[in-house]
Structure 1
Amino acid sequence: MRVWFNRTFSSVYAAIGLIREADTAGRFTIVHSNANRHTPAARLAHEFHGEPTGLEAAAYVDWCVEFCRKQRIDIFVPGREATTLAAQHARFQEVGTRVLSAASAQKLQLIHDKAGFYAETDLPQAPVAEFRRFDSIEQFDAAWAELRPRHAKLCIKPSKGIYGIGFAVVDEARSSAELLLTGVEYHIGYQDLRRGLAELGEFRTMLLMEYLEGHEYSVDCVGDNGRLVTAVARRKLPQAGSGQLIDMRPEIIEATTKLAADYGLNGIFNVQFREAAGKPRLLEINPRMSGGIGMACAAGPNLPWIALKGFADGFDTVEVPPVRHGMRVIEVAEAMELA
């Protein structure tokens, strides 16, 4: 069975390695494509192909359909343009390819728009942080006047974004220059922020939110069209170099189970939580593998293998090992030669 991972995040390297490690019968041929022929995942895949650059979404979908036809792809696990591709399953079925999407195109669009996602999500086990959206200085001032009296700290982040780009805690005591010179990351001075927003006039939609100061949890999951098959919850430890703790906190697993059902989540996905006053609060759903997928799999379940084998043959054919609760895990860098 031929399985294609197109251009995606660097976590695909760990995923391909984990699948090949578990596939002792050699059932799956892993195909990977990328515009960068030096990508590390090219060393692990059975086959590597180049990808075109500069294509608009519709043209890229056309290229993907033709690639699946020519390469006789049985299962396509999309990374690049995953939301667009989720709406095109029928086209791929015509050439004999099943697409493993994390959710429907409509649900993926909502998940990627945090303002809409927060407004739609009802999660008593881990409610979202209080927030207001703004795209002008007037809206920012109104949001600040409403939220600041209720919360000790506020933060900002874009409604649409990845990797935490654009996130910052708003510091009322120090300027951005002082924060920079003292090495404080992901903070911005209130007066500098406000002045900059006023100078911009209009800008992309941002969120002003209560800042959550407690432990952060990253939950790596496998879903089967809304049913949570397995999940591994990692609690990030504050001391650098101390790794992460596998912490299967019941209310976090319950919240993840509900999110999977509410959004019809499928394949591998990741959910982020953070505590406030000892209670978990939802940050976001990442409808893809997380960068820490290798650490999660060290605790027992081989998530990429479970997701692929379950999608290919049915989840009743897959053994799901128990999670080693309380285990401490860490990732270390490893040097390699690139082809």
Structure 2
Amino acid sequence: MRVWYNRTFSSVYAAIKLIREADTEGRFTIIHSNANRHTPAARLAHEFHTEPTGLDSDAYVDWCLNFCRTHRIDIFVPGREATTLAAEHARFADIGVRVLSAAPADMLKLVHDKARFYAETVLPEAPVAEFRRFETLEQFDAAWEALRPRHAKLCVKPSHGIYGQGFAIVDEQRSSAALLLGGVEYHVGYDDLRRGLDTMGAFKTMLLMEFLDGPEYSVDCVGDHGRLAAAVVRRKLPHGGSGQIIDMRQDILDATARLCADYRLNGVFNAQFREGGGRPRLLEINPRMSGGIGMACLAGPNLPYIALRGFADGFEQVHVAPVSNGMRVAELSTPTELP
């Protein structure tokens, strides 16, 4: 069975490695494509092909269809243009290709828009932090006036973004220069922020939110069209070099199962939580493999393989290993030669 992972995040390296380790029967031939021929995953895939650059969404879908025909693909796991491709399953089915999307296209659009996602998500087990959206200085000031009396710290982040880009805790005492020189990361001075927003006029949608100061949890999961088939909860530790703890909190697992059902999640996905007020609070859903997928799989379940095998053959054919709760895990960088 020929399985194609197109250009995606660097976690595809760990996914291909884990699948090949578990696929002792040699059932799956893994094809990977990327515009960068030096990508580390090129060394692990059975076949590697170079992707074109500069294509718009429609042209890229056409290229993917032709790639599937040319290379006899059976299962396509999209990373690049995943939302667009999730709406094109029928076109791929017409040529005999099954597309493993993390959710239906409308749900992917929703989870990528944090303002809408937070407003529409009902999750009693782990409610979202209180927030306001803003696109002008006037809206920021109104949001600050509403939230600051109720919360000791506030933070900002973009409605659309990945990897924590644009996130900052708002510091009311120090300037951005003082924070920079003090080596304080992910903080911005309140007065400097307001001045910057004022000079911009209008800008992309941002969120002002209560800052949650408790431990953060990352849940690596496999969904089966809305059913949570496997999950590993990692608790991030505050001190560098201490690793992470596998912490299978039932309240977080219950919240993740509800999210999986509500958003019809499928394949490998990730949910992020942070504790606030003594209970978990939802941060986001990442409809893709997380950067820590390898650490999660050290605890037992081989999540990329479970997702692929379950999609290919049905989950009744898949063994999900028990999770080693309490295990401490870490990820180490390893030098390697690139292709």
Calculate the TM-score normalised by the size of structure 1. 1.00
Amino acid at match of 1:141: D
Q: C-alpha deviations, 1:13-58, integer Å up to 9, x for none?
A: 0000000000000000000000000000000000000000000011
1:194 aligned onto 2:194:
yes
Q: Distance in 2 between matches of 1:159 and 1:193?
A: 17
Q: How does 1:280-299 map to 2 (within 5 A)?
A: 280-299=280-299
Q: Distance in 2 between matches of 1:70 and 1:337?
A: 30
SS of the counterpart of 1:273?
Answer: strand
Q: Distance in 2 between matches of 1:223 and 1:210?
A: 30
Q: How does 1:98-113 map to 2 (within 5 A)?
A: 98-113=98-113
Q: C-alpha deviations, 1:120-161, integer Å up to 9, x for none?
A: 100000000000000000100000000000000000000000
SS of the counterpart of 2:194?
Answer: helix
Q: Which residue of 1 aligns with 2:59?
A: 59
Q: Which residue of 1 aligns with 2:32?
A: 32
SS of the counterpart of 2:58?
Answer: helix
Amino acid at match of 1:293: I
Q: Which residue of 2 aligns with 1:328?
A: 328
1:208 aligned onto 2:245:
no
Amino acid at match of 2:64: C
Q: Which residue of 2 aligns with 1:153?
A: 153
Amino acid at match of 2:85: L
Q: Which residue of 1 aligns with 2:87?
A: 87
Amino acid at match of 1:87: A
Deviation at 1:277, TM superposition (A): 1.9
Q: Which residue of 2 aligns with 1:252?
A: 252
Q: Which residue of 2 aligns with 1:275?
A: 275
Question: RMSD between aligned alpha carbons?
Answer: 0.4
Identity across matched positions, percent: 76
SS of the counterpart of 1:221?
Answer: strand
Q: Distance in 2 between matches of 1:13 and 1:39?
A: 9
Q: Which residue of 1 aligns with 2:172?
A: 172
Q: Which residue of 2 aligns with 1:316?
A: 316
Q: Distance in 1 between matches of 2:335 and 2:69?
A: 36
SS of the counterpart of 1:108?
Answer: helix
Q: Distance in 1 between matches of 2:239 and 2:189?
A: 26
Q: C-alpha deviations, 1:227-246, integer Å up to 9, x for none?
A: 00010000001111010000
Q: Which residue of 2 aligns with 1:50?
A: 50
Deviation at 1:225, TM superposition (A): 0.2
Amino acid at match of 2:78: P
Q: Distance in 2 between matches of 1:281 and 1:338?
A: 40
Q: Which residue of 1 aligns with 2:263?
A: 263
Q: Distance in 2 between matches of 1:333 and 1:147?
A: 41
Amino acid at match of 2:127: P
Q: Distance in 2 between matches of 1:81 and 1:58?
A: 10
Runs of 4+ in 1 over 3 A off after TM superposition: none
SS of the counterpart of 1:334?
Answer: coil
Deviation at 1:95, TM superposition (A): 1.1
Q: Distance in 2 between matches of 1:135 and 1:240?
A: 35
Calculate the TM-score normalised by the size of structure 2. 1.00
SS of the counterpart of 1:80?
Answer: coil
Q: Distance in 2 between matches of 1:252 and 1:327?
A: 17
Deviation at 1:278, TM superposition (A): 1.6
1:163 aligned onto 2:163:
yes
Q: Which residue of 2 aligns with 1:74?
A: 74
Q: Which residue of 1 aligns with 2:118?
A: 118
Q: Distance in 2 between matches of 1:54 and 1:296?
A: 35
Q: Distance in 1 between matches of 2:192 and 2:112?
A: 28
Q: C-alpha deviations, 1:57-100, integer Å up to 9, x for none?
A: 11000000110011110000000000000000001011110000
1:242 aligned onto 2:242:
yes
Q: C-alpha deviations, 1:257-304, integer Å up to 9, x for none?
A: 000000000000000000012210000000000000000000000000
Q: Which residue of 2 aligns with 1:18?
A: 18
Q: Which residue of 2 aligns with 1:6?
A: 6
SS of the counterpart of 2:178?
Answer: helix
Q: Which residue of 1 aligns with 2:144?
A: 144
Q: Distance in 2 between matches of 1:240 and 1:34?
A: 32
Deviation at 1:108, TM superposition (A): 0.2
Q: Distance in 1 between matches of 2:87 and 2:308?
A: 20
Amino acid at match of 1:287: P
Q: Distance in 1 between matches of 2:261 and 2:316?
A: 19
Task: Give 5+ residue unaligned stretches, structure 2.
Answer: none
SS of the counterpart of 1:119?
Answer: helix
SS of the counterpart of 1:208?
Answer: strand
